[in-house]
Amino acid sequence: MEADLATANAVAPKLSFAFYGRVSTEDNQDPESSLQWQLSRARTLIAPHGGLIIAQFFDIGQSRALPWQRRPEASQLLAALKDPARGFDAVVIGEPHRAFYGNQYGLTMPLFTHYGVQLWVPEVGGRIDPDNEGHEMVMSVFGGMCKGERNRIKVRVRTSMKSQTKLEGRYLGGRPPYGYMLGDLGPHPNPAKAAAGKRLHGLIPDPQTAPVVQRIFAMYLDGYGLHAIGERLNRDGIPCPSAYDRARNKHRDGLAWAKSAIRVILNNPRYTGHQVWNRQRTDEVLLDVDDVALGYTAVTKWNGRERWIISDKPVHEPLVTAEAFEHVQQLIAKRGRTSTAPQRVYRSHHPYVFKGLVNCGVCNRRMQGSRANGIAYYRCRYPQEYALTNKVDHPRTVLLREDILVTPLDTWLSQEFGELQRRHTVTKILEQAAIGMPVVAPASPSGPTIAELDAKLARYREALDAGADPAVVAGWIAETQADRQIALSRQRLERTGAADGSAYRLTVEEVTAMIEELGGMVAVLKTAAPEDKIDIYRDLGLRMTYLPETKTVRADLAIAPHRWPSVCVRGGTFPPSCGILHTFGQLVNECA
Q: What is the pLDDT of residues 86-132, one digit of tens each?
A: 889 999 999 888 888 888 888 889 999 999 999 999 988 899 998 88
Amino acid 220: pLDDT: 94
- Per-residue pLDDT, averaged over 450-473, amounts to 69
DSSP string, 116-177: T-EEEEGGGTEE--TT-HHHHHHHHHHHHHHHHHHHHHHHHHHHHHHHIIIII-----SPPP
Amino acid 491: pLDDT: 62
Highest-scoring range by mean pLDDT, 201-205, 337-341, 587-591: 201-205
Amino acid 200: pLDDT: 84
How far is the C-alpha of 209 from the C-alpha of 548, rounded, in Å?
A: 38
Between residues 492 and 443, which one has the greater pLDDT? 492
Amino acid 522: pLDDT: 66
Q: Note whether 109 and 68 are within 8 A (CB).
A: no
How far is the C-alpha of 560 from the C-alpha of 576, rounded, in Å?
A: 7
Amino acid 192: pLDDT: 81
Q: Which pairing describes strands 118-121 and 90-93: parallel, antiparallel, or unpaired?
A: parallel
pLDDT at 34 > cutoff 80? yes
Q: Note whether 204 and 316 are within 8 A (CB).
A: yes
- Per-residue pLDDT, averaged over 473-484, amounts to 67
| Range in 113-117, 345-349, 544-548 with the lowest mean pLDDT | 345-349
What band does 529 get if pLDDT is binned at 50, 70 and 90? confident
Amino acid 90: pLDDT: 93
pLDDT at 35 > cutoff 80? yes
CATH 3.90.650.10 given to domain 200-275+311-335: no
- Per-residue pLDDT, averaged over 266-273, amounts to 93
| Range in 25-29, 45-49, 494-498 with the lowest mean pLDDT | 494-498
How far is the C-alpha of 142 from the C-alpha of 64, rounded, in Å?
A: 13
How far is the C-alpha of 30 from the C-alpha of 24, rounded, in Å?
A: 10
What band does 207 get if pLDDT is binned at 50, 70 and 90? very high
How far is the C-alpha of 521 from the C-alpha of 535, rounded, in Å?
A: 10
pLDDT at 337 > cutoff 80? no
Amino acid 180: pLDDT: 94
Q: What does CATH list as the number for 2-150?
A: 3.40.50.1390
- Per-residue pLDDT, averaged over 238-262, amounts to 83
pLDDT at 504 > cutoff 90? no
Q: Classify residue 357 by burial, with Cβ atoms within 10 Å: 0-12, 13-18, 19+.
A: buried
pLDDT at 368 > cutoff 90? no
pLDDT at 590 > cutoff 60? no
Strand partners, 187: 199
Length of the chain (residues) = 592
Distance set, CA 503 to CA 446, 493, 538 (Å): 19, 10, 29
How far is the C-alpha of 189 from the C-alpha of 199, rounded, in Å?
A: 8
Between residues 340 and 189, which one has the greater pLDDT? 189
Q: Classify residue 50 by burial, with Cβ atoms within 10 Å: 0-12, 13-18, 19+.
A: exposed
Burial 149-186 (b: 16+ CB within 10 A, else e): ebeeeeeeeeeebeebbeeebbbeeeebbbbbeeeebe
User: 3-class DSSP state for residue 186?
Assistant: strand
How far is the C-alpha of 381 from the C-alpha of 394, rounded, in Å?
A: 9
How far is the C-alpha of 32 from the C-alpha of 416, rounded, in Å?
A: 61
Amino acid 191: pLDDT: 82
Amino acid 289: pLDDT: 75
pLDDT at 408 > cutoff 60? yes
User: 3-class DSSP state for residue 543?
Assistant: strand
Q: What is the mean pLDDT of the chain?
A: 77
Q: Note whether 566 and 432 are within 8 A (CB).
A: no
User: 3-class DSSP state for residue 70?
Assistant: helix
Please name which of 506, 592, 519 lies closest in space to residue 557, comparing C-alpha atoms: 519
Distance set, CA 452 to CA 291, 448, 458, 565 (Å): 13, 6, 10, 19
Amino acid at 254: G
Please name which of 12, 35, 44, 37 lies closest in space to residue 120, comparing C-alpha atoms: 44
Q: Note whether 381 and 560 are within 8 A (CB).
A: no
Amino acid 318: pLDDT: 94
What band does 8 get if pLDDT is binned at 50, 70 and 90? very low
Distance set, CA 51 to CA 11, 18, 91 (Å): 14, 10, 11
What band does 576 get if pLDDT is binned at 50, 70 and 90? very low
Question: In percent, how much of the chain has pLDDT > 90?
Answer: 19
Amino acid 119: pLDDT: 93
DSSP string, 349-411: SS--TTTTTEEETTT-PBPEEEEETTEEEEEE---HHHHHHHT----S-EEEESHHHHHHHHH
| Range in 6-15, 80-89, 444-453, 475-484 with the lowest mean pLDDT | 6-15
Please name which of 556, 583, 544, 559 lies closest in space to residue 429, comparing C-alpha atoms: 559
Highest-scoring range by mean pLDDT, 5-19, 75-89, 539-553: 75-89
Q: Note whether 206 and 179 are within 8 A (CB).
A: yes
What band does 324 get if pLDDT is binned at 50, 70 and 90? very high
- In terms of phi and psi (left: phi > 0; alpha: psi -120 to 50; beta: otherwise), the region of 416 is alpha
Amino acid 562: pLDDT: 38
Question: In percent, how much of the chain has pLDDT > 70?
Answer: 71
Amino acid 185: pLDDT: 82
Q: Note whether 315 and 202 are within 8 A (CB).
A: yes
pLDDT at 391 > cutoff 50? yes
Amino acid 465: pLDDT: 67
Q: What is the pLDDT of residues 414-455, one digit of tens each?
A: 777 777 776 777 676 666 655 443 443 443 445 677 777 777
Amino acid 271: pLDDT: 94
Please name which of 494, 325, 533 lies closest in space to residue 413, comparing C-alpha atoms: 533
Highest-scoring range by mean pLDDT, 218-222, 285-289, 298-302: 218-222
pLDDT at 346 > cutoff 70? no
User: Cα 136 to the chain's mean position, in Å?
Assistant: 37
Amino acid 120: pLDDT: 93
pLDDT at 315 > cutoff 70? yes
What band does 302 get if pLDDT is binned at 50, 70 and 90? confident
What band does 478 get if pLDDT is binned at 50, 70 and 90? low
Amino acid 454: pLDDT: 76
Between residues 175 and 504, which one has the greater pLDDT? 175
Highest-scoring range by mean pLDDT, 132-146, 379-393, 493-507: 132-146
